[in-house]
Amino acid sequence: MLKLFKYLILPIFILWSFIFIFLFQFSFPIYIVEILPEIFLFAIISLSLLGLGRFILKILKLEMEILEKIVFSLSIGITTISIFTTILGFLGLLRRWVFLSLLSILFFSSIPTLISLSKELLEKLKNLKFVFNIEFIFLILTLFILFANLLFTLAPPIFYDSLEFHIAVPNYYILEGKIKYMEGNVFSNTPLYLQMLYLFGMLVRNEYLTPLLTFLMGFILILSLFSFGKRFLSLSYPSLPPLILLSLPLTSFLITTPAQDLPLSLFSFLTFYSYLIFKEDRKYGWLILTGVFLGFSIGIKYQGLYLLLLLPIFMLITGKVLRENIKLILIIFTIAFIISSPWFLKNIIYTGNPFYPMLFKFFGGRDWSDENNSRFIKDLHIKTPSQMLSLIYQVNFSSKIFGAGGIIGPVFLIFLPFYILGKRKVIGDSLFLITFLNLFPFLTTGNIRYSYFSIVILSLLISYGIEEFKVFKLLKIIMVLTVLIIVTLNSFLSFSHLNLVNPSLNLVLGNVEKNDYLKNNLPHYRGIDFINKDLPPDSR
């Protein structure tokens, strides 16, 4: 009898505990418990992307340290699944069972790879010596801000741009079962690789996964800054660039919201990152990745085409042999063209304009007009010097443009002189030129989101500049204290502004119920809720 009880005690305890936890949750419903399936599936998707990407890197025979393995495995996993989803969309196979089957195959086939990566990561962590120093403080603050941002991604998306474009277009394709022409939404005929990633998450579960997938790309960007700073700039504070970037109100907005600007910046950065590793290792697998990331950037947003100018400039400055650089540029561009071409071919077939709705005067376009085109491009013009100065002031100190693009705060104005006056590297100066040239979208639209890639690079450069002057002990102390003050102020500003634009913490922390949250933040939700609840199905 005692032996039988010994075997039964564990299942009895689990069942007993579950009953009371269920009753407690029923009496005091906690929102996070409600979305545990989404969190679980997000973890499964992330691990599957990691395993898929690692498998592809092995095929390319590319080896690197563990942090870069995670960065490039996740990134190439995202590009692969987005491209594959696109193919399935054109084939008319946008079915939930297809994507659940695909995810299951990916996850279970990735388990050996994930175990191997876990062992390597644990071994790396065992060999680390944790010392309470400045870098440790920067790292803890980075992780804290990252976790705080994660909380904002757990609520249903409510940002208008996300709902009308980034979620609406994939949702239409899901309803139709395939990629097809969508009337009344001009953005459905732009490059859509990011929306294909969102579509993957929406078919596996629902739209709740879209902000989490955006957060995943933000996480990859943070890791890539850390690893890039260590490898190419020899930073002794590699957590400083991620900390500076994460503390910006602009970043808090972009990392928690389904939108194109952060993913575009991530894959733009990885384009340059891959090329620099190729220059060191001379393995053509890195050149292939450079072309893939370039093509994927173009396939996220037309703005990625600007990299076709920026990357050759960077290559010609950092390279030595002109003839070899031209050959490499042609290889990269060919790969990029193959990767990005589906969206331009789609536009030609559906609208007659490969760059729809841009260049309307040259190519025309379906369901578009001169009047629409004039209205669409009316704000695209070079600003006067006084307007440029005004824009620089606004993105640093004015909250009135937060909804249109965000705030970056004073950190770059304070510390950029340290980079300019210090001992600089060719890589740093080349990236600084790219930063300057990439401000063009900002200076023609007034929206700093469109030049977020420049902000990413500046986070690295000012961190390098700060380290150049750390030999002066008193100055080092003052600079570190200044960084901590700015990070603290920026973080408070980030979360206060973010809670105005996206008050999801009220839902996540249980201050409001989900239905009330949606009613308060989506004006049309009350009508839709009434239709769903009170009207017969055939009236919808």
Which of 169-178, 282-291, 359-368, 377-386 has the lowest average pLDDT?
A: 377-386
User: Per-residue pLDDT tens for 272-322?
Assistant: 999 999 998 989 999 999 999 999 999 999 999 999 999 999 998 887 767
CA–CA gap between residue 119 and residue 132 (Å, rounded): 26
Higher pLDDT among residues 136 and 293, named by residue: 293
- Dihedral of the CA atoms 152, 156, 162, 164 (nearest 10)? -160
CA–CA gap between residue 220 and residue 238 (Å, rounded): 15
User: Per-residue pLDDT tens for 181-197?
Assistant: 998 888 899 999 999 99
DSSP state of 35: T
CA–CA gap between residue 86 and residue 179 (Å, rounded): 8
pLDDT band, residue 85 (cuts 50/70/90): very high
DSSP state of 163: I
Q: What are the boundaries of each domain within the chain? A: 34-121+143-354+394-509
Average pLDDT value for the chain: 86
The mean per-residue pLDDT over the stretch 61-89 comes to 96
| pLDDT for the residue 381 | 62
Considering the chain, what percentage of its residues have pLDDT values greater than 70?
90
pLDDT band, residue 10 (cuts 50/70/90): low
| pLDDT for the residue 427 | 85
Question: Does position 163 have pLDDT exceeding 90, yes or no?
Answer: no
The mean per-residue pLDDT over the stretch 28-55 comes to 89
User: What does the angle CA 436 – CA 220 – CA 115 come to, to the nearest 5 degrees?
Assistant: 155
| pLDDT for the residue 445 | 77
Helix (H) or strand (E) holding 187: none
Residue type present at position 32:
I
Higher pLDDT among residues 485 and 401, named by residue: 485
Helical residues (DSSP H) of 205-282, grouped into ranges: 209-232, 240-247, 249-255, 261-281
| pLDDT for the residue 295 | 98
The mean per-residue pLDDT over the stretch 117-128 comes to 85
Helix (H) or strand (E) holding 511: none
Question: Does position 525 have pLDDT exceeding 80, yes or no?
Answer: no
pLDDT band, residue 147 (cuts 50/70/90): very high
Nearest to 228 by CA among 72, 439, 433: 72
| pLDDT for the residue 75 | 98
| pLDDT for the residue 242 | 96
Question: Does position 436 have pLDDT exceeding 80, yes or no?
Answer: yes
DSSP state of 188: G
Question: Does position 22 have pLDDT exceeding 70, yes or no?
Answer: no
Is the previous residue joined to 354 through a cis bond, with omega within 30 degrees of 0?
A: no
Which of 18-22, 119-123, 137-141 has the lowest average pLDDT?
A: 18-22
Helix (H) or strand (E) holding 167: none
Question: Does position 402 have pLDDT exceeding 70, yes or no?
Answer: no
Nearest to 314 by CA among 229, 226, 434: 434
SS3 340: helix
The mean per-residue pLDDT over the stretch 414-428 comes to 82
| pLDDT for the residue 404 | 45
3-state secondary structure 268-310: HHHHHHHHHHHHHHCCHHHHHHHHHHHHHHHHHCHHHHHHHHH
CA–CA gap between residue 146 and residue 144 (Å, rounded): 5
The mean per-residue pLDDT over the stretch 93-118 comes to 94
